Amino acid sequence: DTAVSQTPKYLVTQMGNDKSIKCEQNLGHDTMYWYKQDSKKFLKIMFSYNNKELIINETVPNRFSPKSPDKAHLNLHINSLELGDSAVYFCASSHRGVYEQYFGPGTRLTVT
Amino acid sequence: AQSVSQHNHHVILSEAASLELGCNYSYGGTVNLFWYVQYPGQHLQLLLKYFSGDPLVKGIKGFEAEFIKSKFSFNLRKPSVQWSDTAEYFCAVNHGDSWGKLQFGAGTQVVVTP
């Protein structure tokens, strides 16, 4: 059984478009995260939700909007895509607090 | 600003060689420390973690790490690597944030040659 799943796995789109990435976890966790991994493999947290409530919001352009319909799902919507948004986006989940985070397989976004 | 440094960006070694990857952080307060591994084309997986207690922690696949508080370090070690250890290794630090926020190092690409 997949613990943390993301769709799509690959996303190629043009500048200016709007796209969404979906994440689902079946681990019973109440906290979910979005990370961005750039071309140099550097991982940086973007957002975190706990029980559908936004708890971490790093310095991210407001073109990025996370949405958590329930504690098992955390989606990422990106408006007006730019070349610099090209990266691998990872979703992760954990229990509330400092616990192991379980990562999804990543979504490779390419903006042309 | 708080930082997490991994000094080696690329490491190439032969099978059976010993591996040590350095990780240093800058935060002087309570920290929780992690090492994650990313095998080619796969997602990140936890190798080991340190919260408190014995500063020498053992993880999966024969890896261990030592927390040295005075040196702000959490170095990863494996006495004898295998070809299957070829991967990207990330050190991550939680700076006492109760929500589990992690700050990652830049990663170390390890290539093990047969």
Residue A91 has pLDDT above 70, yes or no: yes
List residues bridging with A103 in a β-sheet: A92
Q: Chain B residues contacting A, CB < 8 Å?
A: 32, 34, 36, 38, 42-46, 49, 51, 88, 90, 94, 97-104, 106-107, 109
Q: Could you write out the DSSP letters of every residue in chain B?
A: ---EE-S-SEEEEETT--EEE--EE---S--EEEEEEE-TTS-EEEEEEE-SS-SEEE-GGG-EEEEEGGGTEEEEEESS--GGG-EEEEEEEE-S-TT---EE---EEEEEE-
A97 contact residues in B (CB cutoff 8 A): 98-100
pLDDT tens-digit series, residues A14-28? 999 999 999 999 999
B1 contact residues in A (CB cutoff 8 A): none
Give the mean pLDDT of A58-76: 92
pLDDT tens-digit series, residues A75-86? 999 999 999 999
Give the mean pLDDT of A43-50: 91
In degrees and rounded to multiples of 5, residue B84 shows phi and psi of -70, -5
Share of residues in chain A with pLDDT > 90 (%):
77
Name the maximum alpha-carbon separation found in chain A.
38
